[in-house]
């Protein structure tokens, strides 16, 4: 047995090394999309990231970042932290599988060679299958919390199995204390680890109690209650109780800030000490162990002290500013993101929801006590408009719900609700991801059930044809997509074999594994109650569920070995079984998954952030929104110290009072943002919503006068609602902003040559009949800063973010600059918004912008970037049009050549990318570059032809979607034919028109 233990340890570390090498070779070298930029920036200066925080992750990553030679290497080291955590997860998975496999062999004797080969073959097959699975590999190579969270789950499940081995020995309960400490620590990374508790509980029950299935059911219920107690009682509940003590001591007894919290902590510690003393004295083992476990959970949870400490230091990134017990409670409760959807009883998308003020006060820290600044709002649903187990609850997505449910009118019923839950939330948001990992993946194009976007696919064509339609003639958007991974159901089948084998041989271990699988998968689906049309695929949330299935994949080796051993039972059969499973599953997965997980050459996210900052003049204010537009900029400024003079203003956060307050102070080398409002005027719920009560004012109102009117607390500046409350209102939508022409020229907002184009008054109309707080503060920033600082808007902002000012935009690249300039007619209609200054735009695109190595044919194009590439190309096309208007034909062709070289068209099917190519071909034609134009027309028409052929083959799968895609494709073909004919390319035009006619006939359309 000793030799087995040593060999098991060595081979576990070998699994670690294999995974670590693969992840290191495919790891992103710098910052990635989504939360990664914020995490790296938060780690580097130990700042306060978004709710509910990840303090332990920040601490561990900070230690790794200290190894970096310079700031440009910080992201590399933090990414390496995910690599190491992920590799360690694979190691503990290996040991978990070998433990369970050894139990299934039911031997207490010395293990023979056949048994050793089978056990370790199972360990390597299951562990490496998970290592090379789509979901886990994605998180393993970037700076995110999911790798470390997975490690905690892996160690927790492994630890309960270690306890199981020693349960009858003295001091075995130290493993339970270790698990409790792991759970406490994991809270400082992610809450997903809590979902392992029911599985832990069942292992404990079957080992120590095991008094029938009624007892097992009771243990399951108790385990779930422990989970709920930790999630709601320990994490926010403790802080909520501490807040009550704080309020009593500070507001009631007039003691200093923090006195109530200090007293509560001391009281909690004394209570634990007394219970431990009592339980030891009375020899109450269960009470002693349970209390110690709770103590260790709190010790691990104490990592959250970092959040309060760093918030008090007032770091540059200080989300929610949780520097006191009340703001810290809001931080833990994710108040910034609003209340989650109800899980038991709630509305449907047709319910008439309204909000009323609750009895719950909103407290902020004043000069000597906590001050009440308002009441929290609570959701109200009229009687008769509620539904049990509400899934289709969000009014924002009514059109999607109706389309998905094929219910164009009427109120939804409970059957519709369950239909959506089973087909969309379970089918689309879980089982589709599950099949990605263990059957195969169609492509990386995110979709909402469309037959040619983001589905699972296996490579077994008859089965794929049943699920998706004819797969014999795949289009480029699938066949040439890096994420077209065919696993032929082999990991799935081996996992099912292992599941059956464990169920038959050891149903108690099966229950523990199954609970881990279900609670980290299906239970999360129920709890999250996700709305449709998410900004990205969120399969990372179910990684632990796929971890559990990987255990069954490993145990599937035992199934194969037993099957083959019915005729032969020797070392060769054991070796053959392991070899077959290794080749058929992890090695196949490694081969298929490598190209769409290899980010080793990608620097796209950093490049785009740098391009954005390089578009701005010194001391600028840049309005942005969205994680992918904001977080990389934070990374560049906070970590690489690149362009720290630019003040980033996130329009999604500016509506939060704490964020607006932070704008009033300088950050890094960026000056404070001037506002005419004091913090109290926009704090918390103040002026969240300013409705239009049109006073029919004839002339446009000066912006600052309007802002002063809305910001007034005088009742004469307010309207009285039916409720009797007074509210500030918007008296008109017609606005103007008077500018100092000379200042605008002197500060470089307008080039000297364009001085005569500057208007004295910018006049515009608000697009909506209201102002939300973020829009109100945006206008306030513009009014109080435009004459002294350059103001820019990111091009990916929505219309509502522009506040109607887009006629005064100048396209400077992937940003718009707000300029008080008249439209001279030369570039009218060229840019989607406002005007174009060709010299500035040319300088940015030709001399400043870099796009990494995406044009080398080897760099994996992230699906997020692939979706956006058309918008990046649009800047080049806009400049080319403007240059052509100015008669600069050579420069026009040159900028088009640069775009075609640096920004290859993304392979995302029929859509915006093909429209931008159409624009490019037209511009080449106008430059008389016929060969280049014809090449694009020919290439685009060929691409669309292949896509249309595939749509014809699958036309029965989603007729509405196919019809829309077909119409778009045919329209582009028509435009290509017309454009090529217009420029004398008759043969090419005839060829495209022939194809067009064939498709019209094929799809049964009327010309």
Coil, strand or helix: which one is 288?
A: helix
Q: Mean pLDDT for each 10-residue chunk of the chain (1007 residues)? A: 87 98 97 96 97 96 96 97 98 98 82 93 98 97 97 98 92 96 97 95 94 92 96 96 97 95 97 96 94 97 97 95 95 78 88 86 91 85 92 93 93 95 96 97 90 93 89 91 96 98 96 96 94 92 97 97 85 94 98 96 95 96 95 98 97 91 94 94 86 90 96 89 83 94 83 85 93 96 94 93 92 94 59 83 95 88 87 93 94 96 89 89 95 96 95 83 89 95 95 94 80
CA distances from 256 to 104, 246, 249, 948 (A): 62, 9, 8, 72
Q: Report pLDDT for 340.
A: 60
Mark out the alpha helices in 831-929 (DSSP H runs): 838-843, 863-885, 889-902, 912-926
500 backbone φψ class: left, alpha, beta (φ>0; ψ -120 to 50):
alpha
- The C-alpha atoms of residue 705 and residue 732 are separated, in whole angstroms, by 12
Whether the Cβ atoms of residue 123 and residue 97 lie closer than 8 Å to each other: yes
Q: How many CB atoms lie within 10 A of CB 25?
A: 12
Sequence ranges of the domains in the chain: 2-309+489-593, 340-412, 414-471, 605-848
Coil, strand or helix: which one is 369?
A: coil
Q: Where are the beta strands (DSSP E) in 563-615?
A: none
Whether the Cβ atoms of residue 351 and residue 382 lie closer than 8 Å to each other: yes
602 backbone φψ class: left, alpha, beta (φ>0; ψ -120 to 50):
beta
**Nearest partner of 611 among 446, 450, 477, 792, judged by Cα:** 792
Reply yes or no: is the peptide bond before residue 52 cis, omega within 30 of 0: yes
Whether the Cβ atoms of residue 175 and residue 167 lie closer than 8 Å to each other: no
254 backbone φψ class: left, alpha, beta (φ>0; ψ -120 to 50):
left
DSSP structure class, residue 674: P
* DSSP one-letter string for 792-839: EEETT--HHHHTT-GGGEEE-SSEEEE--B---SSSTTTSSSSEE-HH
Coil, strand or helix: which one is 293?
A: helix
> Structure tokens of 480?
């040439």
The angle, 0 to 180 degrees and rounded to 10, between the axes of the packed helices 543-564 and 507-519 is: 150
> Structure tokens of 151?
């490690």
Place of tokens 């006939």: 1001
Q: Report pLDDT for 339.
A: 56
Measured at the CA of 196, the angle between CA 192 and CA 202, to 5 degrees, comes to 165
Q: Tell me phi and psi for residue 402, to 5 degrees.
A: -65, -40
State how beta strands 734-738 and 701-702 pair: parallel
- The C-alpha atoms of residue 361 and residue 436 are separated, in whole angstroms, by 47
Is the torsion defined by CA of 558, 560, 563, 568 positive or negative? negative
Mark out the alpha helices in 447-489 (DSSP H runs): 461-468, 476-479
Whether the Cβ atoms of residue 624 and residue 649 lie closer than 8 Å to each other: yes
The Cβ-side half-sphere exposure at 1003, using a 13 Å CA radius, reads 27
DSSP structure class, residue 837: -
**pTM, full prediction:** 0.95
- The C-alpha atoms of residue 610 and residue 270 are separated, in whole angstroms, by 54
CA distances from 197 to 201, 225, 569 (A): 6, 10, 39
Measured at the CA of 562, the angle between CA 557 and CA 565, to 5 degrees, comes to 125
Q: Report pLDDT for 109.
A: 66
Whether the Cβ atoms of residue 690 and residue 730 lie closer than 8 Å to each other: yes
Coil, strand or helix: which one is 756?
A: helix
Reply yes or no: is the peptide bond before residue 890 cis, omega within 30 of 0: no
Measured at the CA of 313, the angle between CA 308 and CA 316, to 5 degrees, comes to 105
Whether the Cβ atoms of residue 379 and residue 348 lie closer than 8 Å to each other: no
Rounded (to 5) percent helix, strand, coil in the chain? 60, 10, 30
- The C-alpha atoms of residue 606 and residue 851 are separated, in whole angstroms, by 9
- The C-alpha atoms of residue 33 and residue 608 are separated, in whole angstroms, by 11
């Amino acid at each position: 047995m000793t030799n087995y233990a040593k060999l098991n340890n060595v081979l576990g570390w070998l699994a670690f090394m294999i995974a670590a090498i693969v992840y290191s070779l495919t790891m992103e070298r710098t910052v990635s999309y989504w939360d990664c930029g914020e995490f790296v920036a938060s780690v580097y200066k130990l700042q306060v990231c978004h709710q509910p925080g990840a303090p332990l992750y920040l601490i561990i990553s900070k230690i790794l970042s200290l190894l970096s030679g310079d700031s440009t290497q910080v992201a590399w080291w933090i990414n390496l932290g995910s690599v190491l955590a992920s590799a360690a997860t694979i190691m503990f998975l290996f040991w978990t599988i070998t433990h369970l496999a050894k139990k299934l062999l039911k031997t207490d004797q010395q293990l023979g060679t056949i048994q050793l080969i089978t056990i370790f073959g199972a360990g390597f097959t299951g562990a490496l299958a998970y290592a090379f699975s789509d979901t886990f590999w994605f998180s393993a190579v970037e700076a995110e919390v999911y790798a470390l969270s997975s490690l905690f789950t892996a160690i927790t499940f492994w630890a309960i199995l270690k306890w199981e081995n020693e349960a009858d020995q003295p001091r075995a309960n130290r493993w339970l204390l270790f698990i409790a400490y792991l759970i406490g620590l994991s809270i400082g990374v992610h809450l997903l680890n809590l979902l392992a508790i029911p599985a832990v509980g069942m292992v404990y029950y079957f080992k120590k109690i095991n008094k029938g299935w009624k007892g097992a059911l009771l243990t399951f219920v108790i385990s779930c209650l422990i989970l709920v107690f930790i999630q709601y009682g320990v994490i926010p509940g403790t802080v909520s109780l501490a807040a009550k003590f704080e309020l009593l001591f500070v507001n009631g007894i007039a003691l200093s800030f923090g006195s109530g919290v200090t007293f509560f902590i001391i009281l909690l510690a004394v209570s634990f000490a007394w219970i431990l003393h009592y339980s030891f004295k009375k020899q109450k083992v269960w009470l002693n162990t349970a209390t110690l476990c709770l103590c260790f959970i709190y010790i691990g949870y104490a990592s959250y002290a970092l959040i309060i400490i760093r918030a008090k230091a007032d770091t540059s990134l200080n989300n929610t500013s949780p520097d006191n017990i009340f703001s810290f409670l809001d931080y833990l409760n994710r108040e910034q993101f609003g209340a989650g959807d109800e899980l038991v009883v709630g509305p449907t998308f047709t319910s008439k929801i309204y909000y009323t003020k609750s009895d719950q006060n909103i407290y902020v820290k004043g000069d000597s006590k906590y001050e009440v600044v308002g009441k929290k709002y609570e959701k109200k649903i009229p009687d008769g408009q509620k539904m049990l187990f509400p899934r289709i609850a969000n009014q924002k997505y009514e059109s999607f719900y109706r389309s998905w449910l094929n219910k164009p009118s009427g109120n939804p019923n409970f059957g519709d609700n369950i239909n959506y839950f089973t087909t969309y939330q379970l089918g689309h948001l879980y089982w589709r991801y599950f099949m990605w990992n263990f059957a195969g993946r169609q492509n990386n194009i995110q979709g909402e059930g469309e037959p040619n976007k983001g589905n699972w696919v296996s490579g077994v064509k008859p089965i794929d044809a049943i699920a998706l339609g004819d797969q014999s003639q795949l289009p480029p958007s699938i066949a040439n997509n890096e994420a077209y991974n065919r696993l032929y159901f082999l990991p799935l089948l081996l996992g099912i074999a292992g599941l059956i084998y464990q169920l038959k041989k050891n149903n108690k271990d099966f229950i523990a594994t199954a609970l881990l699988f279900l609670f980290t998968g299906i239970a999360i689906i129920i709890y999250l109650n996700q709305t449709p049309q998410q900004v990205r695929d969120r399969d990372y949330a179910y990684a632990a569920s796929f971890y559990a299935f990987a255990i069954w994949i490993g145990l599937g080796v035992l199934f194969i070995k037993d099957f083959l051993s019915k005729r032969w039972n020797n070392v060769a059969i054991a070796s053959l079984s392991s070899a077959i499973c290794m080749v058929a599953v992890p090695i196949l997965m490694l081969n298929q998954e490598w190209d769409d997980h290899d980010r080793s050459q990608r620097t796209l996210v950093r490049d785009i952030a740098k391009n954005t900052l390089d578009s701005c003049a010194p001391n600028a204010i840049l309005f942005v929104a969205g994680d992918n537009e904001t977080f990389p900029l934070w990374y560049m400024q906070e970590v690489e110290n690149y362009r720290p003079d630019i003040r980033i203003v996130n329009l999604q956060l500016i509506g939060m009072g704490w964020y607006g307050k932070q704008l009033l102070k300088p950050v890094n080398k960026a000056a404070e943002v001037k506002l005419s409002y004091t913090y109290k005027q926009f704090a918390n719920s103040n002026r969240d919503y300013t409705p239009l009560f049109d006073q029919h004012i004839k002339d446009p109102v000066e912006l600052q006068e309007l802002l002063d009117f809305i910001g007034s607390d005088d009742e004469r500046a307010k309207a009285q609602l039916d409720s009797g409350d007074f509210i500030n209102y918007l008296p008109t939508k017609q606005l103007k902003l008077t500018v100092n022409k000379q200042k605008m020229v002197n500060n470089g907002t307008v080039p000297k040559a364009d001085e005569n184009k500057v208007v004295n008054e910018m006049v515009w109309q608000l697009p909506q009949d209201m102002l939300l707080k973020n829009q109100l503060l945006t206008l306030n920033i513009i009014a109080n800063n435009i004459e002294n600082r350059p103001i820019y808007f990111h091009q990916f902002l929505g219309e509502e973010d522009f506040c109607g000012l887009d006629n005064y935009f100048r396209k400077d690249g992937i940003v718009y600059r707000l300029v008080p300039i008249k439209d001279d007619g030369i570039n009218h209609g060229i840019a989607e918004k406002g005007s174009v200054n060709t010299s500035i735009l040319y300088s940015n695109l030709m001399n400043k912008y870099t796009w990494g190595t995406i044009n080398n044919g080897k760099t994996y194009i992230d699906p997020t970037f692939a979706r956006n590439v058309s918008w990046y190309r649009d800047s080049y096309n806009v400049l080319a049009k403007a240059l052509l208007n100015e008669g600069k034909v050579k420069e026009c062709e040159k900028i088009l050549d640069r775009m075609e070289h640096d920004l290859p068209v993304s392979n995302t099917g029929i859509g915006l990318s093909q429209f931008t190519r159409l624009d490019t071909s037209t511009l080449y034609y106008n430059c008389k570059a016929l060969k280049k134009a014809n090449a694009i027309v020919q290439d685009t028409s060929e691409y669309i032809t292949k896509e249309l052929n595939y749509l014809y083959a699958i036309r029965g799968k989603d007729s509405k979607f196919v019809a829309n895609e077909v119409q778009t494709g045919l329209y582009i073909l028509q435009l290509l034919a017309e454009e090529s004919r217009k420029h004398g390319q008759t043969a090419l035009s005839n060829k495209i028109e022939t194809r067009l006619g064939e498709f019209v006939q094929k799809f049964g359309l009327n010309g």
